[in-house]
């Protein structure tokens, strides 16, 4: 069936001209004045007229799922924080905004930071009010030099106009059920370029000035996070959705996206930024309904495959998600994609498209090289397995491997991270899914690069030890 979009207008990109709704040449950084003139901060004004619990419930009822990779329900995560005491305080608690965006093939958060930073800051302010948080840390990827300057300027504007600091949200307007306004401080923290700091506890370690090593869980960050205090960690795009949900209501958010096609699974409501790269005519970030088929995204938004070549495969959302094969071009890009198409999940929804000329052996080797380089080294399966896997795939690509090396590579990839409790974070799982889905869905390309393995087999003719003749033969595998 043809895909019928439910989104009638852009939500996250309403101020960022994006095809098919606008021309990217018209983009500019939206200042505080331009943001408020176009209806910005209306969601925050409405939120602070509500009780914090009502704001949390509205986000929870919208069933907004995290846009950072895992797809965990945002409002439900907010409820994990310990309840405030009788005075509504409950001690220090923190919000950490994950703007690390280090997953290869992912650049959708960068679009928001580049052009509409106040949308993100409004979501931060609403979250802090709802969760009784007074300090927010905006953790941005170390390589995002320009984006850091844009966000710093936007934070400065927000302070100047009373959003943060001073006498409280909106210069003291946040007085619902309180004797004093709710005051929020927001700080930008630049990372040092480590992929592993995109993992939430690795991010917290980095924020504390330590080496970015993921932590064992439990305790989870909502109980013991930054500086040992309750902490919420949300992605940039996730928080950017919050203002429109508060302004328009949870029911409105549910009119976009799609229901789950798997019984008992949560729906994939709302719109999603899809950062498409690879062999398409017009790569870029596009805002679409969740559930859009990959073919529709490529053909209607990206202008089709580059130079008219045939589609071969696609990584649906950052390289750690695994690959969609040649027969999965019509895969629906929603949070059910993992169980339906044998990939790890939708991830960051940053599809990388491959045409018919792509060497999938080289793709697998390059992904393995990346994970080997970025492993923090804490866990033996990840530290040793990633290096071993990269060596095997390099040997296969060079044509110096034998057929048994294919089975060994699959065995290593399948074992890494799949046994619960053997690794602290999901890096090993990402390496696992990326390599083994490529090897399984493009097995013929790998087999064509290896030499047959010769296994010698001894055969004795006649009675053993009675003068029988021993012959040596072999089996090709």
Instruction: Name the band, by pLDDT with cuts 50, 70 and 90, for residue 464.
Output: low
Is the distance from CB of 337 to CB of 316 less than 8 angstroms? yes
Instruction: Name the band, by pLDDT with cuts 50, 70 and 90, for residue 192.
Output: confident
- pLDDT over 60 at 176, yes or no: no
Mean of the per-residue pLDDT values of the chain: 89
Count Cβ atoms within 10 A of the Cβ of residue 266 and give its class: 0-12 exposed, 13-18 middle, 19 or more buried: middle
Pair of tokens at residue 305: 């495959």
The pLDDT value recorded for residue 425 is 87
HSE of 187 in the Cβ direction (CA atoms, 13 Å)? 10
Q: What are the backbone angles phi and psi of residue 231, rounded to the nearest 5°?
A: -140, 135
pTM above 0.85, yes or no: yes
Q: Determine, yes or no, domain membership for 300.
A: no
| pLDDT mean over 448-475 | 64
CA atoms of 411 and 408, how far apart (whole Å): 5
Is the distance from CB of 381 to CB of 428 less than 8 angstroms? yes
Q: Does residue 389 sit in the same domain as residue 244?
A: no
How many folded domains does the chain comprise?
A: 2
The DSSP element (H or E) to which 411 belongs, if any, is helix 403-415
The pLDDT value recorded for residue 454 is 67
CB atoms within 10 A of CB 301: 21
Q: Does residue 36 sit in the same domain as residue 176?
A: yes
Higher pLDDT, 456 or 384: 384
Instruction: Name the band, by pLDDT with cuts 50, 70 and 90, for residue 83.
Output: confident
Q: Does residue 51 sit in the same domain as residue 189?
A: yes
Q: Determine, yes or no, domain membership for 37.
A: yes
Q: Does residue 95 sit in the same domain as residue 220?
A: yes
Q: Does residue 105 sit in the same domain as residue 221?
A: yes
Q: Does residue 132 sit in the same domain as residue 246?
A: yes
| pLDDT mean over 260-277 | 91
Digit-coded pLDDT (tens) for 278-288: 999 999 999 99
Q: What are the backbone angles phi and psi of residue 46, rounded to the nearest 5°?
A: -70, -40
Q: Does residue 364 sit in the same domain as residue 250?
A: no
Q: Determine, yes or no, domain membership for 320.
A: no
Q: Does residue 39 sit in the same domain as residue 184?
A: yes
CA atoms of 145 and 367, how far apart (whole Å): 25
Task: Please report which residue ranges of 134-199 form alpha helices under DSSP H.
Answer: 145-160, 169-172
Q: Determine, yes or no, domain membership for 98.
A: yes
Percent of the chain residues past pLDDT 70, beyond the cut:
91
Among residues 225, 255, 285, which one ends one of the domains?
A: 255
Q: Determine, yes or no, domain membership for 42.
A: yes
The pLDDT value recorded for residue 416 is 77
Report the CATH number at residue 99. 3.40.50.11540
The pLDDT value recorded for residue 265 is 85
Among residues 196, 221, 255, which one ends one of the domains?
A: 255
Contacts of 360 (CB under 8 A, 6+ apart): 312, 313, 354, 438, 442, 445, 446
Digit-coded pLDDT (tens) for 31-57: 999 999 999 999 999 999 999 999 999
Q: Does residue 88 sit in the same domain as residue 222?
A: yes
DSSP state of 71: -
Q: Determine, yes or no, domain membership for 81.
A: yes
The DSSP element (H or E) to which 371 belongs, if any, is helix 360-374
Among residues 255, 275, 303, which one ends one of the domains?
A: 255
Instruction: Name the band, by pLDDT with cuts 50, 70 and 90, for residue 171.
Output: confident
Report the CATH number at residue 441. 1.20.1440.230
User: Strand, coil or helix: what is 350?
Assistant: coil
The pLDDT value recorded for residue 118 is 97
Instruction: Name the band, by pLDDT with cuts 50, 70 and 90, for residue 477.
Output: low
The pLDDT value recorded for residue 305 is 96
Q: Determine, yes or no, domain membership for 351.
A: no
| pLDDT mean over 156-168 | 91
Domain holding 146, by residue range, is 31-255
Q: Determine, yes or no, domain membership for 355.
A: no
Instruction: Name the band, by pLDDT with cuts 50, 70 and 90, for residue 166.
Output: confident
CA atoms of 280 and 303, how far apart (whole Å): 7
CA-to-CA dists, residue 162 to 113, 154, 155, 308, angstroms: 21, 12, 11, 53
Digit-coded pLDDT (tens) for 422-434: 788 888 888 889 9
């Amino acid at each position: 069936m043809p895909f019928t979009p439910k989104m009638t207008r852009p939500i996250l990109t309403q101020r960022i001209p994006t095809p098919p709704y606008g021309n990217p040449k018209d983009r500019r950084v939206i200042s505080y004045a331009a943001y408020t003139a176009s209806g910005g901060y209306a969601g925050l004004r409405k939120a602070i007229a509500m009780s914090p619990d009502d704001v949390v419930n509205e986000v929870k009822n919208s069933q907004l799922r995290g846009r950072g990779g895992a797809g965990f329900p945002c409002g439900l995560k907010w409820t994990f924080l310990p309840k405030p005491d009788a005075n509504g305080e409950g001690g220090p608690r923190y919000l950490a905004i994950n703007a690390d965006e280090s997953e290869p093939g992912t650049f959708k958060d960068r679009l928001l930071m580049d052009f509409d930073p106040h949308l993100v800051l409004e979501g931060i302010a609403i979250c802090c009010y709802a969760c009784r948080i007074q300090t927010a840390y905006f953790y941005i990827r170390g390589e995002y030099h320009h984006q850091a300057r844009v966000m710093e300027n936007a934070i400065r504007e927000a302070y100047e106009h009373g959003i943060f600091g001073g006498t409280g949200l909106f210069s003291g307007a946040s007085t619902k059920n309180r004797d004093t306004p709710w005051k929020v401080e927001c700080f930008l923290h630049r990372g040092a370029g480590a992929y592993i700091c995109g993992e939430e506890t690795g991010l917290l370690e980095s924020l504390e000035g330590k080496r970015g090593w993921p932590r064992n869980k439990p305790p989870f960050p909502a109980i013991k996070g930054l500086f040992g205090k309750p902490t919420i960690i949300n992605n940039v795009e996730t928080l950017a959705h919050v203002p429109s949900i508060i302004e328009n209501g949870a029911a409105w958010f549910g009119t976009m996206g799609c229901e789950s096609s798997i019984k008992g699974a949560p729906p994939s409501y709302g719109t999603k930024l899809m950062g498409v790269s690879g062999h398409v005519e017009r790569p870029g970030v596009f805002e679409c309904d969740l559930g859009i088929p990959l073919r529709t995204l490529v053909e209607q938004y990206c202008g089709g495959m580059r130079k008219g070549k045939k589609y071969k495969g696609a990584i649906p959302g950052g390289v750690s998600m695994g690959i969609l094969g040649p027969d999965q071009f019509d895969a629906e890009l929603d949070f059910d994609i993992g169980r339906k198409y044998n990939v790890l999940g939708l991830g960051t929804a940053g599809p990388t498209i491959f045409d018919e000329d792509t060497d999938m052996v080289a793709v697998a080797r390059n992904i393995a090289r990346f994970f080997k380089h970025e492993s923090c080294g804490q866990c033996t399966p990840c530290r040793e397995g990633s290096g071993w896997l990269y060596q095997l795939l390099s040997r296969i690509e060079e044509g110096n491997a034998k057929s048994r090396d294919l089975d060994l590579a699959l065995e290593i990839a399948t074992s890494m991270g799949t046994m619960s409790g053997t690794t602290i974070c999901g890096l090993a799982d990402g390496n696992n899914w990326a390599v083994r889905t490529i090897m399984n869905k493009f097995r013929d390309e790998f087999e064509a690069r290896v030499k047959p393995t010769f296994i010698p087999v001894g055969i004795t003719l006649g009675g053993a030890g009675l003068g029988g003749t021993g012959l040596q033969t072999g089996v090709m595998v």
